Chain A
Amino acid sequence: MYDVCIIGSGAGGAPIAYELANAGFQVVVLEKGENYTEKDFNKDELAVTRRDMFTPPLSEQKHIINEYAQDGTFTRYDGEKSGWNFWNGSLVGGSSNLMSGYFHRLKPNDFKLKSVYGEIAGANVVDWAISYEELEPFYDKVEKIVGVSGKVVKHKHQEPRSSLNFPYPELQTNGVTKWFDKACEVLGYEPMPTPRAVLSQDALKRRGCYYSNFCGSYGCASGAKGSARAALLQKCEAKIITDAFVYRLDSDDKRVKKAYYYTKLGFAHAIEAKIFVLAAQAIESSRLLLNSKNKFFPQGLANSSGEVGKNLIFSAGGSGQGRFVFEKLTKTQQKELMQTGVFFNRSLQDWYEYEAQGKKLKGGTIDFLFEHQNIIPRVKREMYDENGKLLWGEALANKIHKTLTTSRVLTFEVFNDWLPTDNCSVSVDAKEKDKYGVPVGVINLNGHPHDLEVGEYLAKKAVKVLERMGAVEISYNISSAPPPNLVAGGCRFGEDAKTSVLDKNCKAHDLENLYVTDASFMPTGGSVPYTWTIYANSFRVAEVIKKELRS
């Protein structure tokens, strides 16, 4: 029997494996996907981003998506037929292998959204069960163990830090960041270098970034990116079993006894352990609990509250862009603009909190970055003329060549809170099954109108920067479309077992030996990408489990 069985090898599971295995405990990690190392990763655009080699085919594994309108009606989509894909990365280390590693901490007020900003009609906002001060030491730990590069600059919403600066210096940046900083200075904004979970130099027995030009969506061939695999799983002796899709957890009324998994050939296996840690990413973790109902838990494992799957959240906001064209630039500026490889790495958090109509509102973060270097989508976007008609032949060739060789697009991403609502949740489908014969997850989607108002406010600030920088063709899109890679909730933590699934240590209220350590625990998501917080919380829970195993 293992001491700990972890389901899922991504950012939620790997810190537990790292801490417990390095403390001498017997740890096994069950991962549905395959294992890749730095030697296996390459920058094959066709394989990685057009044929989705790191996620399951929708013909074999899909979701059912119910998109809710504000009047409570919904439209049902079959993931396979619609192509609506919520998978993020089935491989050892999970989607952290493929992240861009934009690392922002939550801020103290994110832990007490309801207390600070008040209730919002139609939203199920609650305070967290822990404070920023309780999580801060673990944010700090992630900086040092996973590796975060950057430079702390003073701004009005800078969160308290126990370390003065990041352990690794800023990554190299493109010359256009100077234009950005100057524009912000004129506008009175406070730009900051975006902290990144990418090593800027050799450290932690990993190689520093070699500026491949292809970071987000791709596996890192140097190990610089702080994926759960490179930073943690490759640094411990936890046993990793790949091709292991966990379809059921078996329990009595107090304890989980076994995790059952299928291989892709359909063989079933079981793992016994003292403690089980679920970290299969928010949607799949709720799905597994709901699919594991038994006579003790007829609504689903750990679901006496009926809260499993409820209050699913994403990151609200959207994105925008502006184009810089050679005609408006000096020769030196043209050269700066077209310098590839190095990063842009600029963020604004001036409006993490703001006032509107005399009321204090929670705002968010704006990250700026150059358009992804993937060349095929950049070329395909030129296939239409200004009236939306398809071009071909010489006219198309000329348009493509001019656009790609004499201009470049700077984009921005807005991150604000996706308010939890009754119609945003996970359930399982009564009929549809995946290739393993297991009921597929149903994703109920609903965006709160308040999310759009905040997103619009932030996007307009970003537009001002692009205008001041001299960009043309500026546009943005704020919507309730959920970013599949920024998902949380479904197994809220809290003090009250009637209204939450997990206690403050992310242990199920209903069971003595089940923890959930992916982003499922988050009752609200803050206004930043989640990965750093998932890592930090998982390190925090690892301390709890370590004490329990030693007691």
Chain B
Amino acid sequence: MSARVVLYRLALYRRRRMLLALVLGMIAFETLIIVIARTIPPEQLFAGSVRQPPSAFRAFSGSGGEVSLASYPGLLGAGLVHPFWIAMQLTVVGSLGAAAVAADVEAGTIELLMVRPISRARLLAERTAALVTGSILVTTAAMTAIAVGVAASPRLHDAVPLRGVAAAGVLGLGLALCIAGPVLAVSAAGRHRAQVVGATIALGAVGFAVNFVAQAWSAVSFLRFVSPFHYYTPADALVSGTVPVGSLTLLLGAGLAGIAAAAWLLARRDLAP
């Protein structure tokens, strides 16, 4: 193992099989979405009452309201906010987030690592880099599958530019990092990987549910602003071909705030099993 970035490489090496499975799963899932989208002719897609679904359905289309679920970008966007997609992203964040600190504390291996000339900042930096790498791998796999499908289908390509696929991918990575920040903070302060996995699920599932409820019920619509999924609009990015800078900034800002909190917590804690 190279003397440099040892902790980064160790985290990825130990989860290589999980990452491979998630990459293949993402490719298979997005390929399935592409195949389904290609089988629906335009006249069926835009016919009937499906054209104007309830506003809460925006939560499932990945759009702020610009793109209907009953469109090709809406269908592809739905594949990027589908619970399966979210679950796979959360698996990466939860697993590599736990691996940052808490898993080593729980297993007792932290005692071997941190009695060597490694600063706590370096531990967090390398483990955060491993998490980001995992998210990039899984997101790139999904986006590559979509890009290949879009490029291979003139009907889809007319509705979705390839730069839109890239933009949606960048936004997806922003969502993953937004959730990763607080998860890393939990890992930096925690003693058990279950705490980190629980926090990951809570942030992902509760965040999605809050966004859905806020869109379905006008009385609590203000709550959508606290959900990361409100800022994650891949269907809009697929159509426009641009990354919504404001939303991405907010997602990355929340993630960086979480990482800063993680660094603060890690510097002040005891590191013993």
A binds B: no
Chain B residues at the A interface, C-beta cutoff of 8 Å: none
Chain A residues at the B interface, C-beta cutoff of 8 Å: none
